[in-house]
Structure 1
Amino acid sequence: MLVTGAGRGLGRAMALGVAQAGATVVAVARTAGELAETAALAEPGRVHVLPWDLAAPDTADDLVAGAQRLAGPLHGVVHAAGIQHRAPAADFPADAWARILTVNLSAPFFLSTAVHRAQAARGESGSHVFIGSLASSIGLRNVAAYAASKAGVLGVVRTLAVEWAASGARVNCVAPGYIRTALTEDLFADAERAAWVAGRIPMGRLGEPADLAGAVVFLLAEASAYITGQLINVDGGWLAG
């Protein structure tokens, strides 16, 4: 299995969860040191590390080839890498907009197509798990580029699910709610705001990265063999309330 953004936060938790479930994982992120920390938390030999800059989507085929040299054929991919920039829409910087759309939307699209080509060449299929957000479904303030990328992810998921279903490939999206990660650190630095967010969540607490692992493992496994094109919200009940 290939997991991007695996150096920290949600990606690390997903990579470790998938490894704990018994899969061999290729962990991808820009920072080699963070990837080494992820691998050290897993059973020896279970997580291989592959430093890579996902801001260059045209290298997706090379990334897949490198991952397969490390761990053999890829049976699934989890697109956990993501970046954020907060600013009012009227003042949103063009360079931040472009980079967020590249990393959050273009990179997972082109990586999944590269993985799919490699799987099809072997006469196989696999599971592709994209990571969405509350912003895939609702409007949130000061995150226009992030919202555009995550709404776009949902469109990609549904399109690929329909295009690839006949081959047996499955494509789904897991959308976290408010989770404590580096991307939300600035948001929750305000204790009053953090308390308001937690109070708005029916389950009464902010999420932790490990809360995402179960849904991801399920979508990678044969237990979800008849599920494709779906959005699973892991949000403590936020959207239900």
Structure 2
Amino acid sequence: MSDIPAYVIVGAAGGIGSALCRRLAARGPCKLMLAGRDPNKLDALASDLTTAGATVAVRTLNAIDSGAVDLLFAEAGQQFGPITGAANLCGSILLKPAHLTTDQEFADTLAVNVTTAFNVLRAAVKGMPNGGSVVLMSTVATKIGLANHEAIAAAKGAVNGLVISAAATYAGRNLRVNAVAPGLVRTPLAARLTSSEATLKASTAMHPLGRIGEPGDVADAIAWLLAPETTWVTGQIVSVDGGLSSVRAK
């Protein structure tokens, strides 16, 4: 059983997280520690994954709590053996100009996006002594200026810095650290944007490939970064954004 990959997925029940877990299970036997805030969604996902053949455990936690994240990785190691991959999919969307963003909104944005990423990385370093892959979440807004994205761009910019520094620090331990940077994706988190016909039309027009993202688009990239085939990839912020950050449509 030691050759079966074991993953810790924080934020597993979200749109991208659930798509990722299903892709990992579809690749073959695996062990999945699912973590997040909503126990009902986690249990429902776990049932589907177990039916698909994965070995699954569920833990409810708030990833802003570093002690809870440390315990999560310790429990995963005790239950599954060596952890080979971890992903933090916690995030938020705050679209406000800086002068209208309150102190609390900014603090919450940093906590949900930066603190959770740091906590998962730190726990993974301690919980993955044999190396492996850690994947964090960035955003297209760190690569192209988008109006009213100051708070989230600042937070995810910090995640980008965390990725490249940690990739350097832990390369000698064979621990790879990368992130994906999506554009707008059709998830429950983005429902306020995608449910508005006008907003959806405007965002679709911004993406050169002519559509917004689906959870599977991002999940595929994360699954690739978690796979053993990508053992020579680290310190990268991988754009999964329909060309928004690098292509100018005709």
Is this a same-fold pair by TM over 0.5?
Answer: yes
- 1:46 and 2:55 are equivalent in the alignment: yes
Matching residue of 1:28: 35
1:50·1:67 contact (CA, 8 Å) conserved in 2? no
Shift of 1:87: 2.5
1:48·1:71 contact (CA, 8 Å) conserved in 2? no
Partners of 1:153 and 1:128 in 2: how far apart?
12
Q: Deviations over 1:61-89 (max 9, x none)?
A: 21211223443321110111112333331
2:17·2:219 contact (CA, 8 Å) conserved in 1? no
When the two chains are superposed, the root-mean-square deviation of aligned CA atoms in Å is 1.6
1:79·1:130 contact (CA, 8 Å) conserved in 2? yes
Q: Which amino acid aligns with 1:24?
A: K
Q: Which amino acid aligns with 1:89?
A: A
Shift of 1:189: 2.8
Partners of 1:85 and 1:198 in 2: how far apart?
19
* Residue correspondence of structure 1 range 116-195 to structure 2 within 5 A: 116-120=125-129, 124-195=130-201
Q: Which amino acid aligns with 1:201?
A: H
Closer, same or farther: CA 57–146 of 1 in aligned 2, 3 Å = farther
Q: Which amino acid aligns with 1:40?
A: S
Partners of 2:64 and 2:55 in 1: how far apart?
26
Partners of 2:139 and 2:92 in 1: how far apart?
12
Corresponding residue to 1:206 among 198, 206, 212: 212
Q: Which amino acid aligns with 1:63?
A: L
Matching residue of 2:3: none
Q: Deviations over 1:33-67 (max 9, x none)?
A: 01112223321543321111112124332121122
Q: Which amino acid aligns with 2:128?
A: Q
Matching residue of 1:77: 86
Residue 171 of structure 1: SS of its match in structure 2?
strand
Shift of 1:144: 2.4
Corresponding residue to 1:7 among 7, 13, 25: 13
Give unpaired runs (5+ residues) of structure 2: 1-6
2:88·2:135 contact (CA, 8 Å) conserved in 1? yes
Corresponding residue to 1:65 among 67, 74, 88: 74
Partners of 1:200 and 1:111 in 2: how far apart?
32
Partners of 2:152 and 2:185 in 1: how far apart?
15
Matching residue of 1:93: 102
1:161·1:229 contact (CA, 8 Å) conserved in 2? yes
Matching residue of 2:233: 227
Closer, same or farther: CA 200–141 of 1 in aligned 2, 3 Å = closer
Normalising to structure 2: TM-score of the pair? 0.89
Closer, same or farther: CA 236–105 of 1 in aligned 2, 3 Å = same
Shift of 1:90: 0.7
Q: Which amino acid aligns with 2:231?
A: A
Closer, same or farther: CA 210–46 of 1 in aligned 2, 3 Å = farther
Closer, same or farther: CA 229–13 of 1 in aligned 2, 3 Å = same
Normalising to structure 1: TM-score of the pair? 0.92
2:131·2:175 contact (CA, 8 Å) conserved in 1? yes
Matching residue of 1:196: 202
2:25·2:54 contact (CA, 8 Å) conserved in 1? no
